[in-house]
Amino acid sequence: MAVAVLMAASTGSAWASGIDAQYLYNLSNFTGTIPYNWVRVFCDKKTGEVYVLNTTDRNIKIFNTNGMEVYSFGDDGALGDLYDVTEEEDGNLLVLSYNAGKYSVIRADFRGDPISKVEVKGLPAGLTAGFYPNNVIYDAGRIYLVDKNSMKVLVTDKDGAFEKMDDLGKLLGFDEKKRSETGMAGFSMDDDGNMLFTIPSIFSAFVVSPDGKVKSFGVRGSSPGKFNIVGGITRDDKGNCFVVDTLRGVVMVFDKDYKFMTEFGNWGFDPGNLVSPMEVATGRDKVYVTQSRGRGVSVYRVSED
């Protein structure tokens, strides 16, 4: 069945008024800014706490609403090699980890103590051959395991019962050659169950609705609002969409109709600047951006008039 792709190109020719991004601080502990490099970041929108997963140090740190570290776990190796973390509605965590080349989803309490392993049940034979998820997302009672390289998303219920496998490459009409040459950089889900992801090699961002409808936006270029090497993508509770450009060192903001509004960050080493940003997350009125060269996680407050 053919899929219609609705194009909503951003031009960056006019910046919308009413959006302001103010740099606040970097995530820190009592010794100063934590020099993270391209970590995973997740924000609990209910409490405002932030979880940062560092695959290099194999730990997860929790930060309060003021950006200060309050707890850390995972260093003991009990959860395996950590890849991603998310939270269920009851406050328990879901941790994606690998051990001896095999992935696991571990349910843990808020202190990181393992409760149980979420076993995927009822998988059709051969469906997950070559499937190695990078991310885990929990949304509305479902677990989403995302393999950015194969562009596939495995969906289960909260207990691990198989529901479906979304093949995003197939949905976009990619053959195997194009799929192998592309892959996703950023991936997230919004409050309406839409999947948002970026594909740097074709300078585009995509939004796939729960019923499989596809929207695409993005224009190649180096001026404001245009895509160079895009990375993370997310949406806030107002419907604004945030897209990271790793090469340009900015975070672009689009409205709910994917019209370019403004951008912030800019490449540099001064406070508020960004160096090779990659991941982005939102929580309440804050935006969290990861970057390289030991620059850590920068925090901004975004407001609208």
pTM: 0.91
- Residue pair 34/296 in contact (Cβ under 8 Å)? The answer is yes
Which residues pair with residue 135 across a beta bridge?
146
Position 175 scores a pLDDT of 85
Mean pLDDT score, 111-119: 93
The predicted pLDDT at position 177 comes to 82
Rounded percentage of the chain residues whose pLDDT exceeds 90: 77
Report pLDDT for 11. Answer: 32
Q: What is the mean pLDDT of residues 293-297?
A: 95
**Which has more confidence, 180 or 134?**
134
Query: How buried is residue 164: exposed, middle or buried, by Cβ count under 10 Å (0-12/13-18/19+)?
Result: exposed
pLDDT band at 8 (very low <50, low <70, confident <90, very high): very low
Question: Does position 230 have pLDDT exceeding 60, yes or no?
Answer: yes
Average pLDDT over residues 61-75: 95
Q: How confident is the model at residue 17 (pLDDT cuts 50, 70, 90)?
A: low
CATH number, span 5-304: 2.120.10.30
Question: To the nearest whole number, what is the mean pLDDT of the chain?
Answer: 90
| Residues, the chain | 305
Is residue 26 exposed (0-12), middle (13-18) or buried (19+ Cβ within 10 Å)? buried
Report the alpha-carbon distance of residue 195 to residue 269 in Å, rounded. 33
